């Protein structure tokens, strides 16, 4: 009796989170509005669910939606999600720990929390995942989705599941999700968010594990993965994908279905500055024709999809560093301003069907200049480990899997 009555009081309680100072500092406005509104837990959960459903309604709509409308909808989602994070009562240590693991950077929940505002990445993924789920559920009564390295908010899936639940398009009987993250802070936050979204029925498990080692007992129909940064560097996308594809069913899909990483030689000022002078926000639709024409494309350096992953040859170098060979590229000749150009690497993501994330749509597809790569020019200082080559040289690219992943060029 005691327990029962105190529980029902608890569920009626107003939110009064004991939030760590650092989180409080960075989300003060959201907390203030939470406390000012004097919402009951139920009311807050409703607002949270609504913000997730609203954002997905816009994203999945086939009529054009204004950029700002999307931005506001995603900010509303963020404002609500961080309240759940606050209620999860992460310690300062759980909130801020960030480190480099053997296979890539593990970001702190404090830094990860912003990815839920990355409009066009989430849009490209959510629309693709939606199509893939629809397609799978045409032939199956239920599917299992694995979402490794999902971060504290699992933003590629939880909004979509909220939308399904709200619109009753799919039920929790049809969709079973396994969320995996190695960061204890992300796990705590996920548990609270899933509870607040009342999505427990859709979630098979929340696993605290390293995704490069995790072995699911079930076979997986959809593997949803986004663990990368610009230039396909730093995070362990490739190691995670390479390990987990083996758990996909024969006709299982990885989302993104294809990631194409490309290189180009650009004049930094034109590509990264002039091109964006007159546009409202950076997006593949807003690139500038003359800047695009000024690029010298090198073509694809690496292609990641289910079949390339299954065939990848991993090499171990003397110092224990693991690499995989990527493309061999002949540096173009006859480019008169070659000495002034810099190498920039960018990813093009096809999530599913025609959906995707193109260059400049998101931080993860933003071209990344490599200031250590010199063609027909001398490095400014000698101390560092620069790569120096000339027009016409053949360059073999390797992709380093260990430590902080990234490309390593070698002259042939």
Partner 1 sequence: MQKFAVFTGSCQSLPVVQYLLQTNQLACVVLVDTQQNYDLMQLQHWLQQSAIETLTYKCSDDKGLIAQLDRLAVNRGLIYLFRHKIRPALIQYFSGHLVNIHPSPLPDYRGPFPLYWQLRNGENTTALTLHQVTESVDCGNIAADVEIEIHPFDTMNCVQYKVAQALPRLVEKFCQLDEKQEIKWRNQEGNGSKSAPQVEQQQLIVNWHKQTSKQVVNMARAGNVDSGCALFQFRSEAFQLLQASVVDSALTGVQAGMVIEVDRQNGLVIKTVDGALRLDIIGTQQGVFDGYRFAVLFGLEAGLSLVQKDF
Ligand X SMILES: C[S@@+](CC[C@H](N)C(=O)[O-])C[C@H]1O[C@@H](n2cnc3c(N)ncnc32)[C@H](O)[C@@H]1O
Which residues of this chain interact with partner 1, rule CB under 8 A? 22, 92-93, 96-100, 102, 105-108, 111, 234, 319-322, 368-369, 371-372, 383-385, 400-405
98 binds, among partner 1, ligand X, none (CB under 5 to 8 A by kind): partner 1
Report yes or no: 110 and 152 within 8 Å, Cβ to Cβ: no
Nearest distance, CB of residue 249 and partner 1, angstroms: 32
Hey, what are 156's tokens? 């590629």
97 binds, among partner 1, ligand X, none (CB under 5 to 8 A by kind): partner 1
**Chain residue whose CB lies nearest ligand X:** 151
Nearest distance, CB of residue 148 and partner 1, angstroms: 19
Q: Which is nearer to ligand X, 115 or 275 (CB)?
A: 115
Residue 282 CA to residue 273 CA, distance in Å, equals: 11
Q: Which is nearer to partner 1, 112 or 145 (CB)?
A: 112
C-alpha 80: how far from its chain's center?
20
Report yes or no: 348 and 259 within 8 Å, Cβ to Cβ: yes
Q: State which of residues 107, 241, 244, 261 lies at the interface with ligand X (CB under 6 A).
A: 107
Helix (H/G/I), strand (E/B), else coil: 354: coil
Nearest distance, CB of residue 355 and partner 1, angstroms: 28
> Residues in the chain, how many?
412
Using CB atoms within 10 Å of the CB of residue 247, give its burial: 0 to 12 exposed, 13 to 18 middle, 19+ buried.
middle
Residue 107 CA to residue 283 CA, distance in Å, equals: 25
The reply on whether position 182 binds ligand X by CB under 6 A is: yes
The reply on whether position 362 binds ligand X by CB under 6 A is: no
β-strand partners of 264: 297, 344
Q: State which of residues 59, 150, 304, 342 lies at the interface with ligand X (CB under 6 A).
A: 150
Report yes or no: 394 and 384 within 8 Å, Cβ to Cβ: no
Phi, psi of 274, deg, nearest 5:
-55, -45
Hey, what are 290's tokens? 């003359």
Report yes or no: 329 and 263 within 8 Å, Cβ to Cβ: yes
Binding mask 111-140 for ligand X (x = CB under 6 A): -x--x-------------------------
Nearest distance, CB of residue 165 and ligand X, angstroms: 20
Report yes or no: 177 and 165 within 8 Å, Cβ to Cβ: no
Q: Which is nearer to partner 1, 45 or 103 (CB)?
A: 103
Q: State which of residues 77, 143, 146, 156 lies at the interface with ligand X (CB under 6 A).
A: 156
Nearest distance, CB of residue 98 and ligand X, angstroms: 9
Nearest distance, CB of residue 107 and partner 1, angstroms: 8
Report yes or no: 177 and 145 within 8 Å, Cβ to Cβ: yes
115 binds, among ligand X, partner 1, none (CB under 5 to 8 A by kind): ligand X
Nearest distance, CB of residue 125 and ligand X, angstroms: 7
What is the DSSP track for 197-249?
A: HT-GGGEEEEEES-TTT---SS-EEEEE----BGGGBSS-HHHHHHHHGGGEE
Q: Which is nearer to partner 1, 26 or 287 (CB)?
A: 26
356 binds, among partner 1, ligand X, none (CB under 5 to 8 A by kind): none
227 binds, among ligand X, partner 1, none (CB under 5 to 8 A by kind): ligand X
Please work out, in degrees rounded to the nearest 5, the angle formed at the alpha carbon of residue 163 by the alpha carbons of 165 and 9: 60
The reply on whether position 361 binds ligand X by CB under 6 A is: no
* C-beta atoms surrounding 264 within 10 Å: 19
Please work out, in degrees rounded to the nearest 5, the angle formed at the alpha carbon of residue 315 by the alpha carbons of 313 and 320: 150
C-alpha 269: how far from its chain's center?
27
212 binds, among partner 1, ligand X, none (CB under 5 to 8 A by kind): ligand X
Residue 52 CA to residue 74 CA, distance in Å, equals: 8
Helix (H/G/I), strand (E/B), else coil: 184: helix
Q: Which is nearer to ligand X, 106 or 261 (CB)?
A: 106
Q: Which is nearer to partner 1, 44 or 234 (CB)?
A: 234
Nearest distance, CB of residue 328 and ligand X, angstroms: 29
Binding mask 224-263 for ligand X (x = CB under 6 A): --xx-------xx---x-----------------------
Interface contacts to ligand X, rule CB under 6 A:
103-104, 106-107, 112, 115, 148-151, 155-156, 180-183, 186, 210-212, 226-227, 235-236, 240
């Amino acid at each position: 009796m005691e327990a029962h009555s105190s529980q029902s009081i608890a569920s009626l309680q107003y939110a009064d989170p004991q939030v760590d100072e650092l989180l409080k500092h960075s989300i003060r406005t959201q907390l203030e509005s939470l406390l000012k509104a004097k919402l009951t837990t139920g009311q807050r959960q409703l607002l949270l669910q609504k913000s997730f459903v609203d954002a997905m309604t816009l994203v999945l709509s086939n009529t054009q939606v204004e950029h700002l409308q999307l931005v506001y909808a995603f900010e509303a989602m963020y404002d609500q999600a961080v309240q759940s994070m606050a209620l999860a009562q992460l310690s300062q240590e759980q909130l801020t720990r960030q480190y480099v693991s053997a296979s890539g950077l593990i970001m702190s929940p404090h830094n990860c929390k912003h990815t839920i505002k990355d409009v066009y990445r989430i849009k490209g993924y959510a629309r693709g995942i939606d199509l893939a789920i629809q397609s799978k559920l045409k032939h199956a009564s239920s599917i299992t989705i694995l979402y490794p390295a999902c971060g504290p908010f699992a933003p590629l899936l939880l909004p979509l599941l909220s939308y399904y639940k709200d619109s009753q398009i799919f039920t929790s009987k049809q969709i079973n999700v396994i969320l995996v993250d190695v960061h204890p802070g992300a796990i705590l936050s996920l548990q609270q968010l899933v509870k607040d979204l009342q999505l427990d029925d859709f979630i098979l498990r929340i696993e605290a594990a390293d995704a490069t080692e995790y072995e699911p007992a079930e076979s997986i129909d959809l593997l949803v993965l986004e663990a990368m940064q610009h230039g396909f560097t730093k995070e362990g996308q490739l190691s995670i994908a390479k390990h987990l594809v083996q758990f996909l069913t024969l006709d299982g899909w990885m989302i993104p279905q294809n990631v194409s990483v490309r290189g180009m030689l650009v004049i930094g000022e034109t590509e990264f500055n002039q091109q964006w002078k007159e546009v409202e926000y950076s997006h593949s639709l807003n690139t500038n024709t003359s800047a695009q024409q000024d690029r010298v494309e090198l073509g694809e350096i690496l292609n990641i999809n289910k079949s390339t992953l299954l065939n990848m040859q991993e090499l171990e170098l003397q110092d224990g560093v693991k690499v995989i060979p990527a493309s061999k590229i002949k540096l173009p000749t006859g480019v008169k301003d070659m000495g002034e150009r810099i190498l920039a690497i960018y990813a093009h993501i096809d999530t599913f069907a025609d959906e995707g994330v193109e260059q400049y749509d998101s931080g993860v597809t933003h071209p990344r200049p490599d200031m250590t790569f010199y063609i027909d020019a001398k490095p400014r200082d000698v101390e560092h480990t620069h790569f120096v080559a000339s027009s016409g040289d053949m360059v073999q690219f390797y992709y380093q899997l260990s430590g902080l992943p990234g490309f390593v060029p070698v002259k042939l």
